[in-house]
Structure 1
Amino acid sequence: MADEPTQQFAIQKLYLKDCSLENPAAPAVFRETWKPEARVELNTKHEDLGENLFEVVLTVTVTATKDEQTIYLCEIHQAGVFTLSGFTEEATDQLLGAYCPGVLFAYAREAVSDLTTKAGYPPMLLSPVNFDALYARKKQNQQ
């Protein structure tokens, strides 16, 4: 029986690659009572860095509006470098497209909450995301 390759998954580094917050309605919005209508967009991408290292970037964009006016726009690019070796191509794609973004989401969620609070608003607490389901839907749409 041939030796099967040893599978290895490791987080090498987690970091905030980019973040921005636009607050065009301040300070007038602070004198109003409003319940934000928020739209959340998620995107992921990954890059092969060589030597079994991959960078995965999760982009979270939150746009809060009131009566079609942008109150704030918060965008976070949460990234990580991961070691992946010994996995099939399909399993590697699943890890990079679903599992790694799931790891990064907790950090992006915290950054969004911190930035919106520092902008003078209640913290924007993002709901949990099922990245496995998003990945499966993306794969289904590609077929």
Structure 2
Amino acid sequence: MAENEQPSAERQFSVQRIYTKDVSFESPNAPQVFRGEWNPKHEMNLNTKVNPLDNNIFEVVLSVTVNAKVDDKVAFVVEVQQAGIFSANGFSEEEMGPLLGAYCPTLLFPYAREVVTDLVVKGSYPQLVLQHVNFDLLYAQHQKQAAEQGQAGGAQPSHH
């Protein structure tokens, strides 16, 4: 009988749903941007947000913004919010941060990358495949920065 009670105390993690929450594609300088040489500079920004939904159920939203410029003109801007609903039971407070702040974004990123690639191609630009992102490292850097800012007077942590 004790075996039947044991699973409720174990750690359980599940993905309930993965979905695209918001998408934006802008090509403000088309068609002129197509007439010149295509040698863009890309800039990518990432941000994650965790929204508690219910007891042990969370929405994690990964925002990816990609800007492409040719010379000083914006070729395109892609913004994607890829989200997921995750259930996490039996994890300590120390484990929840990396789980929601690094592991979940790692699961969401391939979906966001696919949406970005599709939008860029549909905008009539050459295929853009985003490189892998180490969310564990980004989370650790964010935590270190937040701790340093906390010691320096409690400044608001920034999102990357």
When normalised by structure 2's length, the TM-score is 0.85
Q: Within 2, Cα distance between the matches of 1:121 and 1:9? A: 39
Whether the 8 Å CA contact 2:40–2:71 is kept in 1: the answer is: no
1:74 corresponds to: 78
RMSD between aligned residues = 1.5
2:62 corresponds to: 58
Q: How far apart are 1:31 and its partner, in Å? A: 1.7
- Alpha-carbon deviations, 1:119-141, whole Å to 9, x = none? 00012110100000000001111
Q: Are residues 1:86 and 2:90 paired? A: yes
1:31 corresponds to: 35
Q: Within 1, Cα distance between the matches of 2:111 and 2:54? A: 25
| Structure 2 CA distance for partners of 1:113 and 1:44, relative to 1, 3 Å | same
Identity among equivalent positions (%) equals: 48
Q: Within 2, Cα distance between the matches of 1:75 and 1:47? A: 20
Indicate the SS of the match to 1:9: strand
Q: Within 1, Cα distance between the matches of 2:119 and 2:108? A: 17
Q: How far apart are 1:3 and its partner, in Å? A: 9.2
Consecutive unaligned residues in structure 2, runs of 5 or more: 1-5, 148-160
Consecutive unaligned residues in structure 1, runs of 5 or more: none
Q: How far apart are 1:23 and its partner, in Å? A: 0.5
Higher helix share: 2
- Alpha-carbon deviations, 1:67-95, whole Å to 9, x = none? 22111100000000000010001101110
Q: Within 2, Cα distance between the matches of 1:81 and 1:23? A: 31
Deviates most, 12-21 or 47-56: 47-56
Indicate the SS of the match to 1:100: helix
Q: Are residues 1:19 and 2:23 paired? A: yes
Moved over 2 A (4+): 2-5
Q: Are residues 1:115 and 2:119 paired? A: yes
